[in-house]
Structure 1
Amino acid sequence: MKRLTSSMLPVALCMAFTTARAAAGPGPVSPITIIQGTTANEKATKISLMAVEEGVTKEIATSEVNADHAFAFALTKPVEGFYYLTYAPKDLGTRIYVKAGDQLKLKLEGNSFDQQAGSAENKLLQQWDKVASPVTGPPSRFDSTTFYSYFPTLEATMPKIQAFKKQFASPNKNFSNLMKQAMDVDVEYAAMRFLLIPHSVHPKKEQYPAYYNTIIKDQKLCDDNAMKLGNVSAYISMYSTFRHLMNSEAMGKMDAKDRFAQGLNGFCNEHVKALYITNSLGAYKTFDGLIEAITPYQKYLVTDLEKKRYLDYEKSVRKFAAGEAGFNFSGETPEGKQVSFNDLKGKVVVVDVWATWCGPCKAELPFLQKLEEEMEGKAVTFVGCSVDEAKDKEKWKQFVKEKEMKGVQMFVNGWSEVTKFYGITGIPRFMVFDKEGKIVTIDAPRPSTPELKALLEKLLAKG
């Protein structure tokens, strides 16, 4: 792969071609693959070329965008398949098909492209994007439409989509197999995502078009080709959430372990199952919790990359394992006194990470105060750790006073060191530490459940 500078695109392409021939030596030379074009995005300064590695996109090259909004890539011996052109590596971007020797000239417009010169595969891909765009386009924009308009569009477009799929044909077997998988994933993902992103108005289940009842199957994504799609990782997560939505009553009665198992067993391809597992790792904030949940399913982590994705996450939570020392964070009390975590050793410590603007946090407060009363006189310290910003410090002080909040109240000035250390991105979060300041759990039950009180009583009983 070669990174091309903005002012020398034609020269760079020529040099890349010459270098490829020279390096090959005598004999047949594999033709170099060229991807070049322009973008309608006048603010773009760089474009990334993403490949798909076991279900996840990975940046393999970048090209600066020159003053004429042009970009270019030169590839030697690319693996044939889907690639993605994007302005930001975290975004999926524009899907294209690449094979050895292709000479592609494209004009990027949003997440679509106009092929000005290139391949039969990309011509078919462009036709698919045009047919499917009424369904796949609107859901990607916040409240760009409501179900009153989207559902009729979905129902009107599905016959056209089915007709396209029925007549779709390509002499390229690899491309044909990928497209058959991609077309289903594209439409299902878009339809599911529409239901699950915020809108000003949401439909009831009885208002869903019949198409939604066709999405859930006993076994999904049985083909290995699914792992060659750049959007399959997002699809897996979306499908799991959609199943929960459609079967909320039944799944609501399951515990977390059963829901995880049911989600995993909803896919039949073992590499897809592995991706489902690694997609789910973020739900486990503690080493012990991770080990307990994932150990029964580690048999699905077979490839080096699957194992690496898991082990990288395991390493990231090992510092949070039970028995390891808690982080010595500090904060300011309403009276202006500095208090650190290590000052609290000698008692069991319950830390409540919260904010005055957090509705769920305030909903837990009555339960927390009741628990504090029940634990009064026992060796337990309750710590309120506010992540309100500096501008709201006085608001925090007033809230603490009005609600007569007890225990140790600390202001840590926003999403600061304690939240970064423990990877806290959502609140309320409750954490429990033993009398020596060692971690019991950094993802404790909430006071509104009986489990937190039971945990504290168990710790106190140990002496």
Structure 2
Amino acid sequence: MKKLLTILLLFAVGIIEAIAASGKATVNCTVYGAQGSGLYLYQLKDGEAHSLGFKRPDEKGTCKFVVDVKEGVYFFRKAGGKGHTFNHVIYLKDGDVKKIDLYAGKLSLDYDSCIVEQPNAETKALANWMLQFNAYEKSVVNRKDQSHDKYRVFEKSASSFLQKNKTKNVYFNQWLADKVETDLKYLLAANYFNFGSRLNTTYDSTANAQAFYKPLQDKKIVCNPSLLRSENGMQMLNYIFGYWKFNKVKNTKDLVASSFSENTAFICNDQVRLRYLAYHMRNIKKYEDFVDHVKPYQSLFASAEMKAAYQQRYEDLYLFAKGTQGYDFELKDVNDKPHKLSDFKGKVVIIDMWAMWCAPCLAEKPIMAKIEHDYYKDRTDIEFIGVSVDGLNRSDLWKGFVKRNGFKSLELLSNSTESIQKYYKIAGIPRFLIFDREGKIVTVDAPMPSNPEFKKLIDKTLASTN
């Protein structure tokens, strides 16, 4: 009996500890200006900022987030905000109930200011660092002649920053030191490519560049797990691997052609290696790419969580493999007439996923229209379909937009979380999908129309299905 009571007691303690470990924090937000735009919340985790979704403020401009947290870093951003940096941050702990006011002008890409009521010391320190970090980056972009000297000054100031911003939270102090160290390396590596997201556009060719970037040659730099404590950690790895590759091949074309899986061997820490693979695995859109670049490293996904993530991604992409039957959607056009993929059997179908608010989508529309016109002149075995994800509740706005812009292709409307978008797990637009005459997948991630490979793929599909 005594043994049974002991077991029950231990079981109860385990439950209490589990509950304590999975605490919650609440953030009550009020948005002033731009209330129609969604408010995104991100969590810093595993070397990047993970989106936790968005809330659309109500008529009073209010919305609420409830997150599972022990303690950690969270960022806010206005929907449609551009850039890779964040301007607004909060440090949350288990049990926190925080109030935040966000202000934005009509033309603001992000919130102009964010006021946290009674911010803790950790939030103040983070906000201070981000302010300095963003100001530094802004001051050196496109100013290579000044960037080296400014970096050395900023690097020295980081040490005094950490001393001035020590808190009573020992865990946070170490975490912040790791983040600052990673951010400095990120800034150095990013400067080489002028902070560009495409590494083949520009690089630092100044006379003393080799000496300035010498710290990046340290092979251990990509093995330090502390890089996972910065939202810039994964992008830092991308820049460093790009720097190594470019200095080896001296050719931006070969730099673009290289795969992330080539870099995995350079990472000598299993935790970092796994997170780097998981980071890129999530962005793979083709089953064939998954097999080529991730499957060879399957043994690294050893924990239950990572095994599940690997298997889920494998199964998701297997549905989208070339030759798999396409999803037979049913959506309505501007005249409320329903259309299915199966209605176009016998035709090669090209689908353009877009939205009225998506600038890159609209930039591709005229190019797509020209391609459509060229094919429609000579063929009847091809169909171009635009699918807007603006939402069924905006049907009238969408119909007017299509009419004003004179779109000639068949245009359909969908909710952003349903139909094609949901089935193919499309996280970003524009997105282009191609199906053969039998309605089977050719690709669910075709190049953009502005890329010559787009038309080549259509021609190849038409030729192979004759």
Instruction: Sort the TM-score into its range (normalised by shorter chain).
Output: 0.5 to 0.7
Aligned length: 355
Which letter maps to 2:316?
A: S
1:222 Cα deviation after fit: 6.3
Which residue of structure 1 lines up, in the alignment, with residue 122 of structure 2? 112
Which letter maps to 2:369?
A: Q
1:453 Cα deviation after fit: 1.8
TM-score by length of 1: 0.58
Structure 1 residues 85 and 287: CA distance shift in structure 2, 3 A? same
1:347 Cα deviation after fit: 0.9
Q: Provide the C-alpha distance between the structure 2 equivalents of 1:181 and 1:434, rounded to a whole number of angstroms.
A: 52
1:382 Cα deviation after fit: 0.7
1:238 paired with 2:235, answer yes
Q: Deviations over 1:86-125 (max 9, x none)?
A: 59899995699xxxxxxxxxxx964739xxxxxxxxxxxx
Structure 1 residues 270 and 413: CA distance shift in structure 2, 3 A? closer
TM-score by length of 2: 0.58
Q: Provide the C-alpha distance between the structure 2 equivalents of 1:190 and 1:54, rounded to a whole number of angstroms.
A: 14
Structure 1 residues 364 and 353: CA distance shift in structure 2, 3 A? same
Q: Deviations over 1:155-175 (max 9, x none)?
A: 4533437999xxxxxxxxxx9
> SS in structure 2 opposite 1:458?
helix
Which letter maps to 1:183?
A: A
1:85 paired with 2:71, answer yes
Which letter maps to 2:330?
A: S
Gaps of 5+ in 2: 12-16, 30-42, 51-68, 77-88, 95-117, 141-149, 165-169, 197-202
Contact map agreement 1:390 1:414 (CA 8 A) in 2? no
Task: Give matches, 1:210-359, under 5 Å.
Answer: 213=213, 216-221=216-221, 226=225, 231-232=228-229, 234-243=231-240, 253-254=253-254, 258-261=258-261, 263-264=263-264, 267-298=267-298, 300-301=300-301, 306-359=306-359
Gaps of 5+ in 1: 1-17, 25-31, 45-49, 58-82, 97-107, 114-128, 165-174, 198-203
Structure 1 residues 336 and 182: CA distance shift in structure 2, 3 A? closer
Structure 1 residues 339 and 39: CA distance shift in structure 2, 3 A? closer
1:283 Cα deviation after fit: 1.5
The structure having more radius of gyration, on CA atoms, is 1
Contact map agreement 1:387 1:414 (CA 8 A) in 2? yes
Which residue of structure 1 lines up, in the alignment, with residue 182 of structure 2? 188
Q: Provide the C-alpha distance between the structure 2 equivalents of 1:389 and 1:248, rounded to a whole number of angstroms.
A: 43
Which letter maps to 1:112?
A: E
Q: Provide the C-alpha distance between the structure 2 equivalents of 1:274 and 1:180, rounded to a whole number of angstroms.
A: 23
1:214 Cα deviation after fit: 7.1
Q: Provide the C-alpha distance between the structure 2 equivalents of 1:95 and 1:391, rounded to a whole number of angstroms.
A: 38
> SS in structure 1 opposite 2:408?
coil
Which residue of structure 2 lines up, in the alignment, with residue 118 of structure 1? none
Which letter maps to 2:122?
A: S
Task: Give matches, 1:30-45, under 5 Å.
Answer: none
1:158 paired with 2:158, answer yes
> SS in structure 1 opposite 2:398?
helix
After superposition, the CA RMSD in angstroms is: 5.4
Q: Provide the C-alpha distance between the structure 2 equivalents of 1:306 and 1:39, rounded to a whole number of angstroms.
A: 24
Contact map agreement 2:186 2:232 (CA 8 A) in 1? no
Contact map agreement 2:182 2:230 (CA 8 A) in 1? no
Which residue of structure 2 lines up, in the alignment, with residue 397 of structure 1? 399
> SS in structure 1 opposite 2:322?
coil
> SS in structure 1 opposite 2:331?
strand
> SS in structure 2 opposite 1:253?
helix
Q: Provide the C-alpha distance between the structure 1 equivalents of 2:24 and 2:440, rounded to a whole number of angstroms.
A: 54
Structure 1 residues 21 and 331: CA distance shift in structure 2, 3 A? closer
Q: Provide the C-alpha distance between the structure 2 equivalents of 1:265 and 1:92, rounded to a whole number of angstroms.
A: 36
1:42 Cα deviation after fit: 9.3
> SS in structure 1 opposite 2:219?
coil
1:279 Cα deviation after fit: 1.3
Q: Provide the C-alpha distance between the structure 1 equivalents of 2:211 and 2:159, rounded to a whole number of angstroms.
A: 11
Which letter maps to 2:430?
A: P
Which residue of structure 2 lines up, in the alignment, with residue 385 of structure 1? 387
